[in-house]
Amino acid sequence: MNAGGTIVELQGICKSYGLDTPVATQVLHGIDARLAEGEFVALVGPSGSGKSTLLNIIGLLERPTSGRLSIAGRDTAALGEADLTELRGRTIGFVFQFHHLLPGFTALENVMMPAIIDRGLADAQAEARARELLAHVGLAGAERKKPSQLSGGMQQRVAVARALALSPRLILADEPTGNLDTKSAEAIFDLLLQFNREMRSACLIVTHDPRLAARCQRRIEIVDGRIVGA
Amino acid sequence: MKLRLPFEWLVALRYLREGRMQTVLILSGVVGGVAVIVFLTQLITQLQAAIIERTLGSQAHIVVRPPEEVARRSLPPQSTAAIVQPRSQRLRSVDQWEAVLGLAADTPGVVAVSPVVSGAGFALRGTANQAIALTGIDTERYRRVVHVDRYLVAGRFAVGGPDTVIGVELAKDLGVTVGDRIRVLTAEGRDELLTIVGLFDIGNRDLNRRWVFVGIKLAQSLLDLPGGVSNLDIVVDDIFGADAVADRLRVQTGLQVDSWMQTNAQLLSALRNQSVSNGLIRAFVVAIVAVGIASVLVVSVVQKQREIGILRAMGASPGRVMTVFLLQGGLYGLVGSGLGVALAIGLLHFFARVYRNADGSPLFAPEIDSGIALGACGVALLVGLASALLPARRAARMDPVQAIRT
């Protein structure tokens, strides 16, 4: 894996909803973009501009209506549902706006979950890695706590640790600091930057916060489903 | 840490634990349903077995008799009127009974055949006399047809020569006991002095008063049936297959062949009706349990919508999400049926103590047939899985983007 390689490549990505209805709406109009390995990029734009849709398409949660998407060098159009699921699990880590932790599981189990899904069951290696990650995000000692016993900032830190569980080459974060106070938001952002530097994971972060966007290496701005600035 | 479970089990078990109230409620539904099914089935099976045992304990499954004698018109065809009187049926032997016995013994399903010579007579002692049914048998052969030893209350069951075994009621009426002698007289005008070697109690007053067992040779001479037998008593291995065996023998021999199912038609239809209503109850309980499990899981899938989306985003395939919910349904069925069988055993022990026969013995044994128990668990497991199928498919088909957004 060379640092100059491409992790995400988008060519003419279009997305429309409701094509089989009379009120079809096109959300994305021919997006061309490229994300290099280890890059730290902000995705900005007003509400309804198509940021989340683009993130979901890159995250392989949705398929584009047309256009070409390559993840880690693999053309996704040719992949079936099972391959997409596997590629998603191994290559991409998600951090959502609302932490989206599994409420029935402890912080440690939540961080182990990607490894459990990937390997079929929890092994010692997954547990060691999860403990290490939790310590790294400053939550050593909170392993046994359920999400409901943690503050919003702590929950989001668990979510960041979970996204990193399988050392993904790409981290997609959809407004990860959106519902946090400034201090917690800074802390989460710092964590993502730190992991980006240490593990060379590429990061694509949707954010409304211009201060945070300014700290990224690069900004991609979309308005009405078109890239207006990169 | 002990969480070394496969992903699907880990998540399924955690979801069951998380929805504590739902789990407890639906589980108690399954437990109650399975307990009712197992308890009812066991109770009815045992009661039916007891009734059949009591009915068939003192009678053969199939009886072969000579064909009834019918009167035929012997007038010329152009005669205008005739009165045909039904003939009285005299005691006759089964024609070539040794050959018929061999044929019956070789018929598949037949366990034992016993030749019997029976006819009417009187038992006398002093001034007392009683009408009796004289039954001439071969001790060993008859033992395999009717478990007479089980009903023996005094002496031994062995007839032959002047030895006889009579019922307790007859002994009381005549004032005799084992070792005493009685005189037996038949309509053929022959009589014989017999020694009582055993007393039986079949549990039926009339039979206890009328049945007198003697050796086959003696009965033949008393009833003037030299070398003949009046009927052949047959026991089959499958009692409900008796009709089929009887039909076959009837066709093969042309004799009159009656199975217990014909002579006890009313009892049989009562038993059948009981089984049908039990089947109906079972079907309804199974349906209700299935609907219960399905509805709980449908609610659970809706509640867990977002989590399902997250699991999918983390790389869980639709198939594995489906397995998570199928497992929950299967576990409801399996755990519920295990506890249900335990509850049924408890109920049986309780009712076995409450309900007793006239003589104080329990009406039924508080035992669970392992086949019924395993069958109930198997059905519950299948019902659990089947009811989970719809909710599980719904979970698997969920669009992760939609699921996370809601």
Give the pLDDT confidence of B252-302 residue by residue, as tens digits: 888 899 998 888 888 888 888 888 988 898 888 888 888 888 888 888 888
Q: What are the chain A neighbours of B320 within 8 Å (beta carbons)?
A: 117
User: Which residues numbered 93-112 in A keep a CB inside 8 Å of some CB on B?
Assistant: 94, 96, 100, 102-105, 109
Shared-domain flag, residues B291 and B355: yes
Give one word for B192, left, alpha or beta, with left for phi > 0 and alpha for psi -120 to 50. Answer: beta
- Examine the pLDDT at B1 and tell me if it is beyond 70: no
Percent of chain A topping pLDDT 70: 97
Shared-domain flag, residues B354 and B377: yes
Shared-domain flag, residues B146 and B239: yes
Shared-domain flag, residues B139 and B110: yes
Give one word for B18, left, alpha or beta, with left for phi > 0 and alpha for psi -120 to 50. Answer: alpha
pLDDT-derived band at A3 (thresholds 50, 70, 90) equals: very low
The partner residues of B234 in beta bridges, in order of sequence, read B62, B113
The per-residue pLDDT for B2 is 54
Domains and CATH numbers, chain A: 39-63+81-229 (3.40.50.300)
In this predicted structure, which of A4-8, B204-208, B236-240, B355-359 has the lowest mean pLDDT?
B355-359
Does some domain include residue B66? no
Shared-domain flag, residues B245 and B157: yes
Does some domain include residue B215? yes
Of B191, B225, B254, the domain-final residue = B254
Amino acid letter, residue B3: L
Does some domain include residue B230? yes
pLDDT-derived band at B184 (thresholds 50, 70, 90) equals: very high
Q: Which residues contact A33 (CB under 8 A, 6 or more apart)?
A: A8, A9, A10, A220, A227, A230
Distance CA B261, CA B402 (A): 65
Does some domain include residue B67? no
The per-residue pLDDT for B165 is 94
- Examine the pLDDT at B325 and tell me if it is beyond 50: yes
The partner residues of A70 in beta bridges, in order of sequence, read A9, A75
Q: Does A62 touch chain B (CB under 8 A)?
A: yes
The per-residue pLDDT for B3 is 53
Distance CA B131, CA A10 (A): 108
Of B254, B286, B301, the domain-final residue = B254
Does some domain include residue B40? yes
Distance CA B290, CA B331 (A): 13
Q: Does A120 touch chain B (CB under 8 A)?
A: yes
Shared-domain flag, residues B98 and B243: yes
Does some domain include residue B64? no
Q: Does A127 touch chain B (CB under 8 A)?
A: yes
CB nearest to A109's CB, from B3, B18, B307: B3
Of B221, B254, B287, the domain-final residue = B254
Burial tier of B76 (Cβ tally within 10 Å: 0-12, 13-18, 19+): exposed
Q: What are the chain A neighbours of B310 within 8 Å (beta carbons)?
A: 96, 100, 102
pLDDT-derived band at A176 (thresholds 50, 70, 90) equals: confident
Helices (H), A73-138: 81-91, 107-119, 124-136
Averaged confidence pLDDT in chain A: 85
pLDDT-derived band at A225 (thresholds 50, 70, 90) equals: confident
Query: Span B148-173, mean pLDDT?
Result: 90
The per-residue pLDDT for A28 is 86
Distance CA B381, CA B372 (A): 14
The DSSP output letter for B364 is S
Distance CA B391, CA B321 (A): 11
Q: Does B312 touch chain A (CB under 8 A)?
A: yes
Residue B171: half-sphere exposure toward Cβ, Cα within 13 Å? 22
The per-residue pLDDT for B406 is 62
CA distance readout (Å), A18 to A52, A63, A64: 17, 14, 13
Query: Span B88-116, mean pLDDT?
Result: 88
The per-residue pLDDT for B352 is 81
Closest by Cα among A59, A70, A97, A93 to A171: A93
Distance CA B116, CA B200 (A): 18
* Number of domains composing chain B: 2
Residues B193-228 have pLDDT tens digits of 999 999 999 888 898 999 999 999 999 999 998 889
Contact: B306, A100; criterion CB under 8 Å: yes
Shared-domain flag, residues B226 and B328: no
CA distance readout (Å), A5 to A195, B78, B155, B317, B372: 18, 119, 104, 29, 65
CATH classification at residue B202? 2.40.40.20
- Examine the pLDDT at A1 and tell me if it is beyond 50: no
The residue segments making up the domain with residue B358 are 7-54+268-405
Shared-domain flag, residues B246 and B175: yes
Residues A49-77 have pLDDT tens digits of 888 888 889 989 888 888 888 888 888 88
Averaged confidence pLDDT in chain B: 86
B235: tokens are 């026991």
Shared-domain flag, residues B205 and B128: yes
A202: tokens are 């590429």
Shared-domain flag, residues B245 and B272: no
Distance CA A201, CA A92 (A): 10
Does some domain include residue B21? yes
Residue B74 dihedral angles phi and psi, to the nearest 5°: -115, 10
Nearest CA in chain B to A116: B7
Distance CA A8, CA A170 (A): 9
Percent of chain B topping pLDDT 70: 98
Picking from A81, A96, A99 by the largest number of B CB atoms within 10 A of its own CB, the best residue to mutate is: A96
The partner residues of B165 in beta bridges, in order of sequence, read B198, B213
- B27 to chain A, closest Cα gap in Å: 20
The per-residue pLDDT for A99 is 66
Query: Span B349-372, mean pLDDT?
Result: 77
Residue B127 dihedral angles phi and psi, to the nearest 5°: -95, -10
CB nearest to B7's CB, from A56, A103, A116: A116
Query: Span B182-188, mean pLDDT?
Result: 90
B168: tokens are 């307790």
Does some domain include residue B260? no
The per-residue pLDDT for A199 is 82
The per-residue pLDDT for A18 is 82
Shared-domain flag, residues B40 and B96: no
Shared-domain flag, residues B315 and B236: no
CB nearest to A121's CB, from B5, B307, B317: B5
The per-residue pLDDT for B213 is 94
Q: Does B311 touch chain A (CB under 8 A)?
A: yes
- Put simply, whether the predicted model's pTM sits higher than 0.80 gets the answer no
- Examine the pLDDT at A2 and tell me if it is beyond 60: no
Contact: A61, B18; criterion CB under 8 Å: no
Contact: A85, B5; criterion CB under 8 Å: no
- B312 to chain A, closest Cα gap in Å: 8
